[in-house]
Structure 1
């Protein structure tokens, strides 16, 4: 959703209204947020909090249900020119309303985005200004339209899905390669925490390439890319018109993205592997609530990811 806003915000001189209308026709819009997790407001003013979900529905096993393979809280401070990408471990042990203790990704399986948003609001004490569900298979096409993205691999790893070896160093990845890399966790030193960081890096790489590739100044390329992004998303803008979001977030750029890891550690509880919150997590949630993530990040550099 941030990528769409970034592209549209830079398209003022190339038929912005036409592109906005085409994007609105391409994207699916639903009420994703639970009412208890929705912040009621009629204007776009910071700070803002958005829920971003990536689902791991497998075409080969549709009966297996959907889980939240990727959960990110995007916190945008009052200046609206920066975004903190807070990755939520999918194995995080939480209380799911109506279901008891379970992994947070189970909330999506039990009650889709609405139950997940309600669970997160109960956990962090903050409602959301909007939400988006990403179809990662559709994002392959987006990355390919950009001509690939540059990803710097810091630990050699072999894909358990394709057998592809990712060697250390910066390299251009196609859509299929980038998404294959983003799914790996078993061959990495920090496991799922490294996977979360790679998701953040790929989102930044997409935004960087979109601006560097001249997309915002080429009407045809911009139109195709925005429609491709739109077809990969289901969004809940909280009844805020898209034009208002574009105007408000026109200063957001890729170099303003900051990756955050929720303080936690893996633990086996009654034979089940969970991620369990560490003490600094309460401070992080309080910092989101009082809109002082910059202060928390400065005091807790261990939990800030290098993007």
Structure 2
């Protein structure tokens, strides 16, 4: 049994934030409609006067102790590309973690970034709604009318509403929005991660020494980092580079989604294996995560962290949802999930994942 004193903030940073697999930026708590949640239970009780002590009085439960599940968490990786003028903030990695009642086991699955969905109208950004790629919900929601700045929290809100409408998951209880900037430092602080690579992966972005490849005429040139099959120990830059690749893989983005989930599980396992139980060991990890952990709504990440303290990597089942491209004529419009994957989403919304996977075992990533 893991040490029950594992610092809540570690679990908050790793389970609630790092599960998106790509750095750190914003942790949010909202329902699928964007309404703030009610204030959490378990606050400190009214102090008892010294003249009338009550030996039998028990301490107030820790914040988050009232959360018993089920929970649905949205984990988003964004590519901000701040060096490119007018770059639209897209959701490049979209994962959902469904945690079963009791919060001891969960299911991690991805939605294709190019999934063709209906994005609802969003008054805050002036977006009229329509059918688009799922990744674009973040961009449309992040717009600030009349300004060039972006409101990432609003982008998350529209993305959450879109996902809720598509999947049928009524409430997304918490989420994390993360960028590419911090994962390499985090993984290095954890001493690297061990991954079992299932096929040869060539990097489009990095040279063997980790420096960026040169972009010429819209394509990258020069020597490439290569990740060979087998059990490998990856440093920070290698881990994020490996999880970013989709070109040259047999199933493109669907293979990349699997690698991202694999990395998520490895990071969580590594953090817990390190036994980060005191502030001196915790501080470097939190520094690597970054300074901008922002909460929105009635719940704080620490509350979900406490509630999820018993969720171990071994009890997270990774799910592969496959699909295919759709288009109009010769034009590519996006992706659509196959019937088996859509059935899984219905099962998730209805709270019967285990039964569905028993009938559809090929959806489970093994190994």
Please give the range of the TM-score, normalised by the shorter of the 2 chains: 0.7 to 0.9
Offset at residue 19 of structure 1 (A)? 8.1
Counterpart residue number, 1:110: 140
Q: CA RMSD in A?
A: 2.9
| Residue aligned with 2:187, SS | helix
Change (3 A) 1:243 1:176: closer
Offset from partner CA, 1:28-60 (integer Å, 9 cap, x none): 667574761558554422100011110011233
Note the 1:87-106 alignment, pairs <5 A.
87-98=110-121, 99-106=129-136
Structure 1 residues 19, 36: CA separation in 2 closer, same or farther (over 3 Å shift)?
closer
Aligned counterpart, 1:56: 79
Looking at structure 2, the residues matched to 164 and 231 of structure 1 have their Cα atoms a distance apart, in angstroms, of 30
* More off after superposition, 224-233 vs 149-158: 224-233
Distance (whole Å) between structure 1 residues aligned to residue 249 and residue 236 of structure 2: 21
Distance apart, 1:128 and its partner CA = 0.8
Distance 1:65 1:264, change over 3 A: same
Cα distance 1:107–1:264, how it changes in 2: closer, same or farther (>3 A)?
same
Q: Compute the displacement of 1:18 (Å).
A: 9.3
* Cα distance in 1, alignment partners of residues 163 and 280 from structure 2: 39
> Distance in 2 between the 1:200 and 1:50 partners?
14
| Structure with larger Rg | 2
Aligned length: 292
Equivalent residue, structure 2, for 1:149: 193
Find the counterpart in structure 2 of residue 258 from structure 1: 317
Aligned to 1:4: none
Secondary structure at the counterpart of residue 70 of structure 1: strand
Conserved 8 A contact 1:38-1:129: no
The counterpart of 1:140, out of the listed 181, 184, 198, is 184
**Closer, same or farther: CA 143–266 of 1 in aligned 2, 3 Å:** same
Higher helix proportion: 1
Deviation track 1:171-225 (CA, whole Å, cap 9, x = no partner) reads 11111111111110111111101100000010111111112233x2454222221
TM-score scaled to structure 1, two decimals? 0.84
1:285 to 345, 350, 361: 345
Q: Structure 1 residue 301: deviation in Å? A: 2.0
The aligned counterpart of 1:175 is 236
* Residue number in structure 1 paired with 2:89: 66
Residue 235 and residue 59 in structure 1: after superposition, are their counterparts in 2 closer, same or farther (change >3 A)? same
1:288, CA displacement in angstroms? 1.5
* Contact 2:26/2:178 (8 A) holds in 1: no
Unaligned runs of 5+ in 2: 15-23, 41-65, 122-128, 142-154, 207-223
Q: How far is 1:107 from its partner?
A: 0.6
Match of 1:294 in 2: 354
CA gap 1:96/1:170 in 2 versus in 1, 3 angstroms? same
For residues 179 and 140 of structure 1, what CA distance do their matches in structure 2 show? 6
Shift in CA distance, 303/265, structure 1 to aligned 2, threshold 3 Å: farther
- Alignment match, 2:147: none
Please state whether the residue corresponding to 1:209 is helix, strand or coil.
helix
> SS of 2:76's equivalent?
strand
- Match for residue 273 of structure 2? 212
Query: What's the counterpart of residue 167 of structure 2?
Result: 124
TM-score of the aligned structures, taking structure 2 as reference length = 0.72
Q: Deviations over 1:134-189 (max 9, x none)?
A: 12321111000011111111111211112211111111111111111111011111
Q: Write out per-residue CA displacement over residues 116-140 of structure 1, whole angstroms, 9 at most, x where no aligned residue.
A: 1111111112221111101232111
Corresponding residue for 1:3? none
Structure 1 spans left out of the alignment, 5+ residues? 1-8
Give the distance between the partners of 1:303 and 1:107, measured in 2 at CA: 26
| Distance (Å, rounded) in 1 between the aligned partners of 2:317 and 2:274 | 22
